[in-house]
Amino acid sequence: MANGRFFDEMTKPDGLPRDVYQRVAHWVSSAPPELLASRRSQAELMFRRIGITFAVYGDKDSTERLIPFDIVPRVLGRSEWTRLEAGLIQRVKVLNMFLADLYGKGEVIKAGIIPEDIVLNNEHFRPEMRGVKVPHDVYVHISGIDIVRVDDHDFYVLEDNARTPSGVSYMLENREVMMRLVPELFAQHRVAPVENYPDALLSSLRSVAPLQAGNDPVCVLLTPGIFNSAYYEHSFLADKLGVELVEGRDLLVKNNVVYMRTTQGPQRVDVIYRRIDDDFLDPLAFRPDSALGVPGLMQAYLAGNVTLANAVGTGVADDKAVYTYMPEIIKFYLGEEPLLKNVPTWRCREPDALKYVLDHLPELVVKEVNGSGGYGMLVGPHATREQIAEFATKLKNDPDGFIAQPTLNLSTCPASFESGIGPRHVDLRPFVLSGADGVRVIPGGLTRVAMKEGSLVVNSSQGGGTKDTWVIEDFQGGLA
Amino acid sequence: MLSRTADNLYWLSRYMERADFLARIIDAAQRLATLPTAYGGTGSEWESTLNAAGALDGYREHVGAVNETSAIYYLAFDPQNSSSICNCLEYARTNARAVRTALTIEMWQSINGAWLEMKRFQAAFGKPGTIDRLELARFLDFVRKASLDFDGSAHRTMLRNDAHWFSRLGLYMERADTTARILDVKYNVLLPETEQVGGSLDYFQWTAILRAVSALTAYNWVYKETIKPWLVADLLILRPEMPRSLRSCYDDITRLLDNIGRAYGKQGPSQNKALETLRQLETIDIKQIFEKGLHEFLTDFIESNDALGAAIGGQYLIHVDESTTETQAQSQA
């Protein structure tokens, strides 16, 4: 099963399973194909019944589609996790310090760590936030850091998602479904639970409420509405958090205070976990055509009467051009070496880098600095000559708008199909929470898997699937 | 709770109840339409059924001449009919999606399951005349079960708080409306005692009404005699023990509005209005109704029920800015 070119999470090059995968490997290889097939169809049925669907933009036929789920879990040993966790905490701590600095004194720019124009010309930089003090200096309350591996020792950060990262409902539901599907596997492992994520999230949110909110702040989750692709997740989380799921039209602002419209009249709101982008938050402050937002929200926010999570303007930190400076930024604030590596990246804005990238397009991955969801991206080795030529033109016209990375040999993990078991490329999005009480990570995350053989694109908007992600104790003993 | 949530819950239940009602009247009309005229078949069953569903005008506009095949399609599947069964289930689910957090898992699963099943039927029989009697019977059965399933899951799993009360309120408001409508469409066969001319001819019409509101067995238990038109009216308007009667609906509506009023520490126009209607239903008897004229009585009732719906909307579901600032001032005082 191991394929010489890629690091397989389960199987070593000699064909034997890695230690943490012993029991899973045994289960996969000994389970009759009919059993796996019935588990796969059960899983599909469960997801369909629960109603976990995902709307894909531009896909008219299926406004509600199921994200494929793979029944073979992705496993991380405790020691691997501990290393990863420390790196994630370091990274998110720095993201918060970086944002506080950018909107504050700007030391990182003065020290020449990052060019000023990258920040100022960034469309996600919000000058309105300059000099604004956010509670406990926390900007990125919820982040999803995309991690990939190419071997068994290093974790690479592929992207920092610091705006409104999604996917955590899949982390939670995948676990629920797996526990019902393969109880025998859970009986053989001690898997770190993820079900406390909503509690942790709620306490992070409450910890950053404005002071005047008192001991029992009112939190709400702000969604763009049922047509948003992540609406299922919004409603799922609001339910788990026990907070109201509000749309823009449910909120109103009076004298810089935010209220929600209830059956008993207006009720004051203290913390808004918003799943709406900055641009759409407030038609008075940002896009005037936004029907999703709340007029006056930004004024209430700047007056300190309500906390937005994530803060306004965090997009500048998850920009792909800023990403390339993260190792230096970490050193600058903490005086420490980064625990997680950056994928080596060419900044096309630098003439030498641009020349190299143009010369090596067929072997590189080129990304738009402001793109997300796997759109606006060139995967050189899989691209046609026309696509490469098209991208070369784009690059020459707007070098600042692109970065390039080597095509990573993303690790693979076995996945179960009708045709049998086969390795598929995976990444991992752990979810990191920041509050007044510090930064924490729920052990696990969302493993995304490229369901097409050989494909490196794991995004759910492009047919990627998911797996349950287990953090288990290193010593699992021999086979029973 | 959010006004919008209350609104969605209220309409969700109304649409589920309406789907159930439509399934029942289609079933009843189909039985009637198979009767020879000598047994009360009038040839106009589908017209009066479309009328009872409040869909006759729309039908005439979109379809034209009334016949069984087109009427069934229009009432059950037609996307052009905003109150077709499929559209009711579609709207119910849209409302449910918008308030996922206010529903229990069981409620959501019952609605979502029904919607998926409905899509299957729609894909198979989504064109006029493609459904045979057997499949139609299956479909109508499925719709009634879906409604029962939703009702049961709401009853068994919801917390008894305002979310529950608004949801039930929608159900009883819809039920009162549909019961009154079906009676009104058939009022001409529900003659008062003194005019019992050729009554037996209408026997099957009366049983059809009872069947449409699943009250045939209930009738036998309550009156223990053969079917008399004024007793049918009595059962469906005044009998408190009959769960579809106007009286019973208003017992529930008043109780639910009282619960809400108590929980919020404030009564309003909807409580007053509901109580007024209930008092009337408690004090009037069937003789007085016939003296006044059944049709007039029912028309008044439907209007007053609509007015209550508007009052509930204004008091709880739709918040205009003036009223919010007013309550805000009150709550701060």
B72-106: pLDDT as tens digits: 999 999 999 999 999 999 999 999 988 877 888 88
Give the pLDDT score at B197: 43
Is the pLDDT reported for residue A368 higher than 50?
A: yes
Across the range A190-194, mean pLDDT stands at 94
Give the pLDDT score at A452: 86
Residues A439 and A378 reside in one and the same domain:
no
The residue written with tokens 């409603």 in the block is A235
Pick the residue from chain B with its C-alpha nearest to A243: B101
* Phi, psi for residue B29 in degrees, rounded to 5: -65, -40
Residues A32 and A106 reside in one and the same domain:
yes
- CA B98, CA A234: separation in Å to the nearest integer? 11
B109 contacts in chain A (CB < 8 Å): 49-51
The model's pTM: 0.81
Q: What pLDDT digit, counting tens, does each position of A370-394 carry? A: 766 566 788 888 889 999 999 899 9
Q: In terms of Cα–Cα distance, which of A229, A21, A125, A148 is closest to A449?
A: A148
Residue A34 located in a structural domain: yes
Residues of A with CB under 8 A from a CB of B: 48-51, 225-226, 231-232, 235-236, 238-239, 244-247, 249-250, 252, 254, 259-266
Pick the residue from chain A with its C-alpha nearest to B163: A263
Which CATH number do you get for residue A389?
Answer: 3.30.1490.270
Residues A91 and A39 reside in one and the same domain:
yes
Residues A351 and A319 reside in one and the same domain:
no
> Cα A335 to chain center, whole Å?
26
Global ipTM:
0.76
Please report, in angstroms and rounded to a whole number, the separation of the first and last CA atoms in chain A.
23
Across the range A116-133, mean pLDDT stands at 93
- Answer whether B100 sits within 8 Å of A48, measured CB to CB: no
On whether any CB of chain A is under 8 Å from the CB of B161, the answer is no
Task: Map out the domains of chain B as residue ranges.
Answer: 1-158, 160-322
Residues A136 and A61 reside in one and the same domain:
yes
Across the range A120-125, mean pLDDT stands at 90
Give chain A's mean pLDDT. Answer: 90
Going by pLDDT thresholds of 50, 70 and 90, the confidence category of residue B28 is: confident
Residue A115 located in a structural domain: yes
Q: Which of A177-186, A448-457, B134-143 has the lowest mean pLDDT?
A: A448-457
Residues A174 and A85 reside in one and the same domain:
yes
Residue A228 located in a structural domain: no
Going by pLDDT thresholds of 50, 70 and 90, the confidence category of residue A283 is: very high
Residue A28 located in a structural domain: yes
The total number of structural domains that make up chain A: 2
Residues A356 and A451 reside in one and the same domain:
no
Residues A450 and A385 reside in one and the same domain:
no
**Residues 6+ positions from A36 with CB-CB distance below 8 Å:** A71, A416
Give the pLDDT score at B332: 33
The residue written with tokens 């370091």 in the block is A90
- Asked if residue A305 has a cis previous peptide bond (ω within 30° of 0), the answer is no
Distance from CA of B123 to the nearest CA of A (A): 14
Give the pLDDT score at B101: 75
Residue A54 located in a structural domain: yes
Residue A401 located in a structural domain: yes
The DSSP code sequence of A344-370 is: P-EETTSHHHHHHHHHTGGGEEEEETT
Residues A178 and A204 reside in one and the same domain:
yes
Residues A54 and A122 reside in one and the same domain:
yes
Across the range B251-274, mean pLDDT stands at 96
Residue A332 located in a structural domain: yes
Give the pLDDT score at A372: 61
Residues A332 and A367 reside in one and the same domain:
no
Residue A70 located in a structural domain: yes
- Answer whether B3 sits within 8 Å of A250, measured CB to CB: yes
User: Given A406, A421, A437, which residue is the final one in a domain?
Assistant: A406
Give the pLDDT score at A60: 42
Q: Which residue has the higher pLDDT, B52 or A459?
A: B52
Q: What pLDDT digit, counting tens, does each position of B222-234 carry? A: 998 888 888 999 9
Is the pLDDT reported for residue A195 higher than 60?
A: yes
Distance from CA of B37 to the nearest CA of A (A): 47
Across the range A141-166, mean pLDDT stands at 93
Residues A156 and A199 reside in one and the same domain:
yes
Give the pLDDT score at A478: 54
Residue A364 is part of which domain span? 346-406
